[in-house]
Amino acid sequence: MASNPSDAPVLIIGLGRFGAAAASKLERLGREVLVVDTDAALVQKWSGVATHAVQADAGDIDALRQVGAQDFSIAIVAIGASLEASVLATSNLAELGVPQIWAKAMSHSHGVILQRIGAHHVIYPEAESGDRIAHLVSGQVLDFIEFDDELSLAKLRPPLAARGAALSTLALRRKHGITVVGVRSPGQKFVYAGADTVVGDDDLIVVSGTAADIDSFARWS
């Protein structure tokens, strides 16, 4: 799969909540964005926000050619309401040779289909959000990101047993499988943690490890 410069323009197909959120964030990051949707009202709404907004049917490959989809190196298929529309849009982008296609899937089977027809990355926003919320509702973890089965990051208040001693003496990696990446004291910025770092009662910490190890560490007393 080809790599792209960090400022490469992005094509977004579908202006539901997921597509709109992606477009809004990319715009704030200074990226050029072309948004495409069949809904004239949504296109009109985004015409003053996105770099370009076009009403078109991504299920029609000729319509995609007319908006220049083949000139983009990154495309996001954010269609969620219609599996058929999602599949057609992804298939058309693959046929046009777009090097990186990110596609939203509503189920595992939907994701398998998208990969088979050319999607390079399949996104499961509902499943990912549900997994994140499951960690947050425990009350121990303040924020949580899971990259894969082997690596997650979490922000949390340190367990009582992890406070008041240098990290090197706690042997957290050996005993709990986690690493304290950073620490923030009240009123201060996060700083990288070292072997001599001592975590205080009011600090916040960022830790890395598997999701299971982080959950276990968060409950350590």
What residues contact 111, with CB distance under 8 A and at least 6 apart? 105, 122, 124
Length of the chain: 221
Cα→Cα distances 2→138, 162, 205, Å: 40, 44, 36
Give residue 138's pLDDT. 58
Taking only the tens of pLDDT, the chain with its 221 residues reads 445 556 789 999 999 888 888 888 888 878 899 999 999 999 999 888 788 999 999 999 999 999 999 999 999 999 977 899 999 999 999 999 999 999 999 888 999 999 999 999 998 887 776 666 666 665 678 888 877 778 889 999 999 999 999 999 999 999 999 999 999 999 999 999 999 999 999 999 999 999 889 988 988 86
Domain edges within the chain: 10-123, 129-218
| 10-123: CATH class | alpha beta
**At CB < 8 A and 24+ separation, what contacts does 134-140 make?**
135/211, 135/214, 135/215, 138/215, 138/218, 140/215, 140/218, 140/219
Q: Which two tokens stand for residue 80?
A: 């969620």
Q: Which residues share a beta bridge with 182?
A: 192, 206
Residue 2 C-beta-side C-alpha neighbours within 13 Å: 13
- The reported pLDDT for the residue numbered 87 is 96
| Strands 141-148 and 52-55, sheet pairing | unpaired
- Residue 159 CA to residue 144 CA, distance in Å, equals 16
Per-residue DSSP letter, 48: T
pLDDT of res. 68? 96
Fold of 129-218: Alpha-Beta Plaits (3.30.70)
Cα separation, 164 vs 158, whole angstroms: 10
pTM of the complete model: 0.67
